Structure 1
Amino acid sequence: MIAVSLLLVSVGNQAFAHDDEKFVVLETNLGIIVIEFFHEDAPNHTDNFIGLAESGFYDGTIFHRIIPGFMIQGGDPNTKTDNKSSWGIGGPDEKVDAEFNTIKHIRGIVSMARSQDPDSAGSQFFIVHQNSNNYEISLDGKYSVFGRIVTDESFETLDKIALVETESPNRPIDIEQVKITKATVVSSSEVSNLLELSEPERKLSVMIPEITEAVTPLTGYQKFEITEHEIVFSAPEGWVVQQPEKTQENSPDVVAVGPKVGIINPNITLTIQQTNQKTFDELISEKTDRLKVAQELGSLFIVSKQITIINDNKAYVIIAEGYFLSNDKSFDIKFKEIMIYGTEKFYTLAYGNDINYFDSQLPRFEETVDLFEILSKDSSIDESIKPVEEGGGCLIATATFGSELAPQVQQLRELRDNTILSTESGIAFMAGFNQFYYSFSPTIADLEREYPVFKEVVKLSITPMLSTLSILNYAEIDSEQEMLSFGIGIILMNVGMYFVAPAIIIYKIRKQL
């Protein structure tokens, strides 16, 4: 155990703290971490964390989730046990309501982990390892920041913990290295070598959207044949459809606007542009370069990218989340954009909505895409196209386990990205699976959010399957044949669990009756 050396320092060395403020010192076998609190921004989270530290709650827990470049997460009392399957889901009975604020999730920030319910924070917390525009946009204003680390040794310890050897899903192999041996509450005047830190960096504002108009259930679609472009565009019934004047090449040719929910109206746009003899890959490269600017500014986070085929044409699909400013107001927007490539033209269908209500209108956009027709038959399909998804969303698992940060969701992502997509057969499987999965997963996820009992049923149903899939994380797959062998074996195992075994049990029960 590392002893904590607490020395008196002058107030002049403390740029932000006051003598009567409380700090928490976390002792680990890799060093100490000193945490300063933002009581005015998150008073309840601050009091909760200090109270747990004073009670000895954190003593003996570990940093159970470690993702270099992103964060280290700890505070789960279940990590005091050897049952690794329970790590990441433990906490006290009392929960803390959300205190979302404008502080940005940059290196050294301490924030509270939670499930999908904003008011579900308990004891688990995470410390941001490195600055990242992608992570900031997905965390800022959505998780309650309540502190930061404030000494050089704290940052050194953070780096050491972030670099320890881990196993799937992001668990440390040597838990003694990352154990919090003692959490101590001290006054700021007792801590030596405080860094000269200024006020924390902040976003301009945090918007908490409210429903301003009810959504009327719509089932029909209105079709528009646009002869000048030789296409058929369909929009949800009841949406306002316009053809605005095209002032720039990338201006939309058709705009459909739906009933307002939250902070903006959902909208679907169609933009038609000439390829100018550019290849599909060249257009993707241009789009990637344009998006990089917004990513570097921290206003855009790419959720997923996918190459697929739509109506016999190559298509590039992007799902992203953005943080935008308008009239001194901030908007958290999520959008899905599909670029359909033809030999002479390419067609971009895009859907944007308030991030909190994105999924509710997504099926209508998907139907718009399905009904979209290119009358000129400007097909671009060839035999070399390989549908590949990078970082796509696990909608059902995320809704079931409450957060994209949940270890079960991370396990599925790592399995897909590191194992399945490493072979041609795996890529082919994912291409077909994605079309099937995303045809129903948004509906299941919505039902889980609406009905907690249904969510628990889904959790019980998919947990055995997750256990069988974890086999692939430990398998050495170096060839197509091995991937097929393991894949078929796991499929048969799940068929046995979900169909054969229940059938045998039912048969025996009936026989006894």
Structure 2
Amino acid sequence: MKKILIIISLSLLFINFGNQSFAQSDDKLVILHTNLGNIVIELFPNDAPNHVQNFIKLAEDGFYDGTIFHRIIPGFMIQGGDPNTKGGDQSTWGTGGPGYSVNAEFNTIEHNRGIVSMARAQDPNSAGSQFFIVHKDSNFLDQQYTVFGRIVTEESFATLDKIASVKTGEKDIPVNTEQVKITKAEVVNRSTVTNLLELSEPERVTTPITTSESGFQRYEDKALDIEFDAPEGWLLQQPEKTNENSPDVVVVGPRIGPINPVISLTISNVDGKTLDDLIQEKAKLLDDALKAGNLEIISQEKSIINEKEVFTTNAKGIFQSGGESYNVQFKEIIISTPKKFYIFSYSNGIDEFNDQLSKFDDSVNSFKIISEPIKEIKSASASVETEEKGGGCLIATAAYGSELTPQIQQLREIRDNTILSTQSGTTFMTGFNQFYYSFSPIVADLERENPVFKEAVKLAITPMLSTLSIMTLAEDGSDAQVLGLGISVIALNLGMYIVIPTITIIKIKNKF
């Protein structure tokens, strides 16, 4: 999350309604005593009853005593509540909790200055003890984290500002941890606190993310210049952008298997790189996992989507998290443009992968760069031509495992440089593609699912690929020469795949 670009710094508006201040609970407040001052927290049990109950219990049990605000980002928030900060290794700070989790209670309260909300991991239902207090309005968090309270005294806001201004080091950890220590968390009755501000009801979200009957919610981000459809009911997040390879948008679905399904979008600048350069970079990053046998590339393929060059990778592997191993399958689609790479990724447990795959594909197909002008819809003939020049050799790619193998590259070169260079070849490919793409996706899927079938297909098509090399003899590229060589190739394949097997079968039959 870029601190300046995506954090909205607005002041909280205090509206005085005489003596009628908003309060959901007339009983309990929590006071966090720190070395820089006290923070008094009013709770919202009507909006987040389980989180309020959990927070009060932990405070009463002394759970927060001695913990520190371990993550401080001025202009955004201060985060605390991790028991690991009582003296554990700093590398573990931010990972600790009470040993259980609390299911999400997302509500409509906006993440304005002074709001207290629950921190969590990628899983929406992973909150435990860690919480954060919003330093400046951060409404991009709305309805994605559970708001359960707010600070309610002038001293609380002054203390918030003091903590937010301390010097921090790596991972936003304060340099002087004693300054930001919670010496004691105290639960008190509201009537015992005399300096409460008279605050109105917290502001609430009135325009939720647009949803449709299609089962998708339209996500738009003008700062990123993108929009796309995300599965309805999935949690949209904008995590902190720590480097160019970290995602800009993450969409987390409900967990059915061992892990949550996740769709992410990562945007990076081209910086003089081509798509092939990026592919090679990624191949090097995955090399160790491939050699160790922890990752298997199922298929890789180049294609064209909406006139943009695309590279698709399907893979599966074993991943470690929290001391446990998970069998995960993922699909990554790199969309190349002159200025940026847009990388969509989808991951899920192997057994559940196909259940949500169509939602990922729909999200990618709906992707739009906002600043791009809307182009006129091309005629059917123009669309076919684009598919001819950019369509994938699906069956062969699935058989050989990658778009980059010599066999697939040879197919593309013959098609694009020889066949499509003539009028007769273009006419032939138009009819052939309509026939080929009617069944090839099904065959390719069967190859990926059945290794034996994959090897059988590879064995069957290898002789045909060899005969296609004859087409490279069309040096002058004339219609007559291409047509003549094409007929020769067809005759050879008819002989190999029909005539010879038929003669063999007849001879065997005559013997018996």
| Pairwise TM-score range, normalised by the shorter structure | 0.3 to 0.5
